[in-house]
Structure 1
Amino acid sequence: MTDEPEIICEVRGAAGHVLLNRPKALNALNLPMVRELTRALDAWERDPAVTRIVVEGAGGKAFCAGGDIRTLHDLGKAGRHAEMLSFWREEYLLNLRIQSYSKPYVSLVDGIVMGGGVGLSLHGSHRVAGERYLFAMPEVGIGFFPDVGATYALPRLPGAAGVYLALTGDRIGQGDAVALGIASHAVGSARIAELSQALTGPEPVETILAAFAAEPGEVKLAASALVIADCFGAETLQELIAALERQAGEGDAFAAKTLATLRTKSPTSVAIAFEQMRRGGALDFADAMATEFRVVSRIAHGHDFYEGVRAVLVDKDQSPVWQPATIEAVDPAAVAAHFAPLGPDELLPGR
């Protein structure tokens, strides 16, 4: 055990500075961290001496690799669903807070950013990617779904790239993130600490970021952009699968690999994620977050999340047994039920 706080929120010059400080856990997010960041953001918004927020992760490997999924899994297995859902409720409200924050909110991401870490960074005004930046929303691989505002953000990415990222969990680097708008700025990894220090000064955030700007890296998805747009822009999941099968049958190696990848994911999660993407483009941010809380409230009582976490994090046999076992066997009515209103338990009552 260590006496080091898991999150450090302090004023540094003009900046409200946040350090996610669980490096051995890749800065995975837990409920005390959510609450401390919420408290700090509330205080700093009222403090005229604080003119910008700067968020970074400790340890050099990750900004934040996601929520503390193992703890949430264990709560659910023990039947403590209310405690489990309280994490997601407060996390989603924090995502809303970040998205509507009245001061510049700068995340310095040099390393892994997944799941809950995406929620802490993507919705802020400035998203700075170092060379070691690695983004993914891999939730469909553990029987979960891409949450923390992905319902809003991913359908709005160009060329159906967001649908592709949601359904496959593929990882992208700095170049693709800047090209898609997931990251707003690129910077050299060696200059991150210097940039963090510069942001404590009085100069405007945009001026400082412009002075540190670097050319982003290679855009790896560019070579497959037409296939992604054609297949993942489909109107239905069945049409998407058929388009991948057609492209794979014509010899496209990327389509064949993508199809094989989809077949390893939770079929229910893939279907939920597709429905998210289909709905999300028409929702405002608050409604998107309310939608996600409806979905997670049902997943907490389902099968595949517990099976996926078991296979990946508990037994680590990497052999989940999904129910149902194929995308074709997923009942559309079961998918739709995840999106039904929650009545008095809604994230945002009255919406």
Structure 2
Amino acid sequence: MTNTNDLLSKVQGGIGWITLNRPKALNALSLDMIRNLTQLLKEWETNSSVNAIVIQGAGDKAFCAGGDVRAVYDAKKSGDLETCDAFFREEYTLNAHIHSYPKPYVALLDGIAMGGGLGVSVNGSHRIVTERALLAMPETGIGFFPDVGATTFLNNVPGAVGLYLGLSGTHLKAEDALWAGLATHFLSSTCLSSFKKDLEQGKPLEDTLTAYCREPQEKGFLEHHSDVIDMHFSKSSLKEIIESLATDPSPFAQNTYNTLTSKSPTSLAVVFRQLKEGKTLSFLARMKLEFRLSQHFVKGHDFMEGIRAVLVDKDRLPRWKPPRLQDLSDRDIDTYFAQLNERELEFGRPA
């Protein structure tokens, strides 16, 4: 077993096993973890004794709660813009590598999986959720945007539900993740230990999945509400979506309206355009777009304010600038999509 403190790895039963090992931080991804994970995947890609990858989180709470954006915040505060560039550049390059990985890549989502945690799971070939799984892309609540490949995987969700998820940051249970295509298999947490033991003993992956995985017993929130979500979120502008929700007295609409109006107006406007324009782009073009957005957000006000309010001071009272959608112009949003010229994200290998 290789031990790099925050990332554990071993090869057993023809499987390359990876454990994200920061349980006290809910296994949030640091830049060092991103680099070590990237190196492992490159090595195992050409290792004939590794037939598949399994990635999991340490502890009993989380697979991975996201990228370590607090570290990005601290770097920006200290004027270390190189780290702000490197973190997202290397994270998105890793996400693209996982997306095109030539071997089965199995993520065990038994607990919290959010933000960057979805980047190192949903982009892979197999995403197994247990009844303890809780997935989300909550970035609009910290003045950011759904990244790590979300321009692709949210656009693959049926109807307008992906836009709803990207704007609202709604938390998804196992049934929702399966319906939305973010997960591929359901496994009871009580069977997880036996499932892993069988893989360690060299039993074939697909046979083991067939033996253990089952359909969930109930429909989830998204399936029950997909029609009303489509009705509101298929509107042609963000303003129309919010007006539609505001005039609908149903509990779903009012709760969603209140949720959206608590988010960063800049984030909402950028995400609406990101997901609409991203529909026609290739996967790599979407990743390049996300890097462009990340760098403009890091320079802006709302990302730093959102991190302050949620992770630093923890008062959960962000003071967005501007505070209202109607105070944003098209030109304001255009700046987030501006080219980075020589700093554009480039991929040195096919992905």
TM-score, normalising length from structure 1? 0.95
1:89-111 alpha-carbon deviations (Å, 9 max, x no partner): 00000000000000000000000
Aligned residues of 2:156 and 2:181 also touching (Cα < 8 A): no
- Match 1:297 to one of 280, 295, 298: 295
Change (3 A) 1:6 1:296: same
Q: How many Å separate the matches in 2 of 1:240 and 1:157?
A: 18
1:129-155 alpha-carbon deviations (Å, 9 max, x no partner): 011000000010010111000011101
Partner of 1:342: 340
Aligned residues of 1:55 and 1:106 also touching (Cα < 8 A): yes
Q: How many Å separate the matches in 2 of 1:321 and 1:108?
A: 37
Partner of 2:158: 158
Answer yes or no: is 1:306 the counterpart of 2:304: yes
Partner of 1:284: 282
What are the equivalent positions in structure 2 for 1:241-280 lying under 5 Å apart? 241-246=242-247, 248=248, 251-280=249-278
Q: Structure 2 regions of 5+ residues with no counterpart? A: none
What are the equivalent positions in structure 2 for 1:108-257 lying under 5 Å apart? 108-216=108-216, 217-246=218-247, 248=248, 251-257=249-255
Partner of 2:320: 322
Number of aligned residue pairs: 346
Aligned residues of 1:311 and 1:317 also touching (Cα < 8 A): yes
Partner of 1:25: 25
Partner of 1:331: 329
The residue type paired with residue 297 of structure 1 is: Q
Q: How many Å separate the matches in 1 of 2:325 and 2:111?
A: 33
Aligned residues of 1:65 and 1:112 also touching (Cα < 8 A): yes
**Larger deviation: 25-34 or 70-79?**
70-79
Answer yes or no: is 1:7 the counterpart of 2:4: no
The residue type paired with residue 81 of structure 1 is: L
The residue type paired with residue 167 of structure 1 is: L
The residue type paired with residue 124 of structure 2 is: G
Q: How many Å separate the matches in 2 of 1:332 and 1:146?
A: 20
The residue type paired with residue 232 of structure 2 is: C
Secondary structure in structure 2 of the residue aligned to 1:336: helix
The residue type paired with residue 287 of structure 2 is: M
TM-score, normalising length from structure 2? 0.95
Alpha-carbon deviation of 1:245? Answer: 2.2
The residue type paired with residue 224 of structure 1 is: H
1:261-308 alpha-carbon deviations (Å, 9 max, x no partner): 100000001111111110122112111110000001111110001111
Q: How many Å separate the matches in 1 of 2:252 and 2:206?
A: 38
Q: How many Å separate the matches in 2 of 1:54 and 1:318?
A: 36
Alpha-carbon deviation of 1:253? Answer: 1.3
Alpha-carbon deviation of 1:118? Answer: 0.3
The residue type paired with residue 323 of structure 2 is: A
Aligned residues of 2:93 and 2:347 also touching (Cα < 8 A): no
Change (3 A) 1:185 1:349: closer
Aligned residues of 1:96 and 1:289 also touching (Cα < 8 A): yes
1:72-101 alpha-carbon deviations (Å, 9 max, x no partner): 111111111121110110000000000000
Change (3 A) 1:349 1:42: closer
Aligned residues of 1:9 and 1:37 also touching (Cα < 8 A): no
Aligned residues of 2:13 and 2:203 also touching (Cα < 8 A): no
Q: How many Å separate the matches in 2 of 1:235 and 1:208?
A: 45
Q: How many Å separate the matches in 1 of 2:104 and 2:166?
A: 27
1:12-52 alpha-carbon deviations (Å, 9 max, x no partner): 12001000000000000001101111111011111111000
Q: How many Å separate the matches in 2 of 1:43 and 1:349?
A: 18
Q: How many Å separate the matches in 2 of 1:106 and 1:4?
A: 21
Identity %: 46
